[in-house]
Structure 1
Amino acid sequence: MTVLTCEGVDAGYTKGRPVVRGFDLELLPGEVVALLGPNGAGKTTLLLTLAGLLPGLGGTITLGGEQLRSGRARAAARRGLVLVPDDRSLFTQLTARENLTIARRRGGSTVDQVLEYFPGLGRRLKVPAGMLSGGEQQMLALGRALVQDPRILLVDELSMGLAPVIVEELLPVVRRIADGTGTAVVLVEQHVRLALEVADRAVVLVHGETALSGSAARLAADPGLLERAYLGEQVA
């Protein structure tokens, strides 16, 4: 059963001037979809709209068969649509454990379950979030999302500010989360090769429109196809 359906979604900041136009997507439980594209393509704008932090400018977003009301972030979160923003938005003065505790909702992962995915956080639970390394902060941000009992994770630029070696460790965890919990994931990522390794499907946005979509394996096997899409050339 589809957990999220987008039909003709327009997203942006000014009525009548959408940044993203006519976006369509059907997302299945446990599926990871990589949302790719050059800077300025509208990927973050789209995630903010799906999460209800931006009012939609057109189209419909359906979660679990029920249409989401535009611009209602709290309602979207209650329905299990959880955003992991690119700035992580942690409470920097609170400890890692406190960040997890205050975010937890009934049915969400416990702290111990989070540590199964991110064992490195175990010895850092008493440390203020602002004093964690960038990689540890990203682990905490993902853990905080898990304790909210998500049906869908929207992960925006997991690799922001992180060394490639850390990204190589964290992205496979996203795959494990999807497989282990059945949570669907929309993953915005600039490390294209690594994203395609953990994703089931990929969608490439260019200038606010879907330039290419298909299985992650197919796109990974044809880098030239991806390159042409990124450059705005028409692809089959």
Structure 2
Amino acid sequence: MTRLECRGVVAGHGRVVAVRDVNLSAEAGSVLAILGPNGAGKTTLLETIAGLLPRLGGEVLIEGTPLPSGRPVTANRAGVVLVPDSRALFTTLTVRENLTLARRRGGPDDDAVADLFPGLVARWNLAAGALSGGEQQMLAVARALVQKPRVLLVDEMSMGLAPRVVESLLPVVRRIADTADALVVLVEQHVHLALEVADHAIVMIHGEVAVAGPAAELKDAPDRLEAAYLGVQLPPARAG
């Protein structure tokens, strides 16, 4: 079973450190939500795991094997696939062409994609740039899936989308983890929707992990989440 580990990861942009000593571990078949306010280092962490940014310290491992720093092609070959918040689609190519270009041998075929994203069925021959925001996000995730990811990194799936669209898309993340034998790492601003589909979650503040635990427990402790976002230390619980 695929396992992703970050051990003491330090990352940033040039000399600006944005991620400090992050440790995490998660396995295929699960969803890990990375939460936190803007500027917390969430996207930087995903880009570092994907090899797009060189690490300034620490290790990223897949099944116990360290990934080289700043080598996106190597990370991708190891099964790490990133869906960026920009979606990065080939906007002049059709939906089908975007999928065909990305598909790896043995990756999900068009029928499997259509089963997961029925909203794309009537759009196969439409240019990606002509799709709605929600449809573009479906295509971005579908394009990642046809690459047969072992670790699927999804950055801000809800970016620019209406809440009702987000509510329909996030459950797909759960289905991917359950059926595609992949670990899904989800950066998301819709905290409670993310916790609905996640198994575990961390909250990052100023580049550090402030809170970590089972998603269900964090969902039931809104005061703990609020304190983490605000950088407030909660008093210890009273005995008795």
> What is the number of equivalent residue pairs in this alignment?
235
Q: Tell me which moved more, 151-160 or 1-10.
A: 1-10
Q: Tell me which moved more, 102-111 or 37-46.
A: 102-111
Residue matched to 1:110: 109
SS at match of 2:176: helix
Q: TM-score, normalised by structure 2?
A: 0.96
Residue matched to 1:155: 154
Structure 2 CA distance for aligned equivalents of residues 20 and 201 of structure 1: 20
Question: Is residue 21 from structure 1 mapped to residue 36 from structure 2 by the alignment?
Answer: no
Residue matched to 2:120: 121
Residue matched to 2:136: 137
Residue matched to 1:7: 7
Residue matched to 2:51: 52
Structure 2 CA distance for aligned equivalents of residues 190 and 120 of structure 1: 24
C-alpha contact (below 8 Å) 1:201/1:215 kept by paired residues: yes
Residue matched to 1:146: 145
Residue matched to 1:224: 223
Amino acid at match of 1:197: E
Structure 2 CA distance for aligned equivalents of residues 177 and 81 of structure 1: 15
Structure 2 CA distance for aligned equivalents of residues 108 and 12 of structure 1: 33
Structure 1 gap segments, 5+ residues each: none
Structure 2 CA distance for aligned equivalents of residues 192 and 100 of structure 1: 30
Deviations 1:24-65 (A, max 9, x none): 011111110000000000000110000000001100000122
Structure 1 CA distance for aligned equivalents of residues 3 and 112 of structure 2: 23
Structure 2 CA distance for aligned equivalents of residues 209 and 233 of structure 1: 14
Q: TM-score, normalised by structure 1?
A: 0.97
Structure 2 CA distance for aligned equivalents of residues 107 and 56 of structure 1: 32
SS at match of 1:57: strand
Amino acid at match of 1:11: A
Structure 2 gap segments, 5+ residues each: none
Structure 2 CA distance for aligned equivalents of residues 10 and 115 of structure 1: 39
1:107 to partner: Cα distance: 2.2
Amino acid at match of 1:106: R
Structure 1 CA distance for aligned equivalents of residues 2 and 149 of structure 2: 15
Residue matched to 1:77: 76
1:106 to partner: Cα distance: 1.2
Question: Is residue 177 from structure 1 mapped to residue 158 from structure 2 by the alignment?
Answer: no
Deviations 1:121-163 (A, max 9, x none): 0110100000000000000000000000100100000000000
1:14 to partner: Cα distance: 2.0
Residue matched to 1:186: 185
C-alpha contact (below 8 Å) 2:2/2:150 kept by paired residues: no
Amino acid at match of 1:4: L
Amino acid at match of 1:62: L
Question: Is residue 36 from structure 1 mapped to residue 32 from structure 2 by the alignment?
Answer: no
SS at match of 2:152: strand
Structure 1 CA distance for aligned equivalents of residues 176 and 185 of structure 2: 12
C-alpha contact (below 8 Å) 2:158/2:166 kept by paired residues: yes
Amino acid at match of 1:126: N
C-alpha contact (below 8 Å) 1:211/1:234 kept by paired residues: no
Amino acid at match of 1:68: L
C-alpha contact (below 8 Å) 1:155/1:185 kept by paired residues: yes
1:2 to partner: Cα distance: 5.3
Over 4 Å off, 4+ runs: none
SS at match of 2:135: helix
Question: Is residue 207 from structure 1 mapped to residue 206 from structure 2 by the alignment?
Answer: yes
Percent sequence identity over matched residues?
63
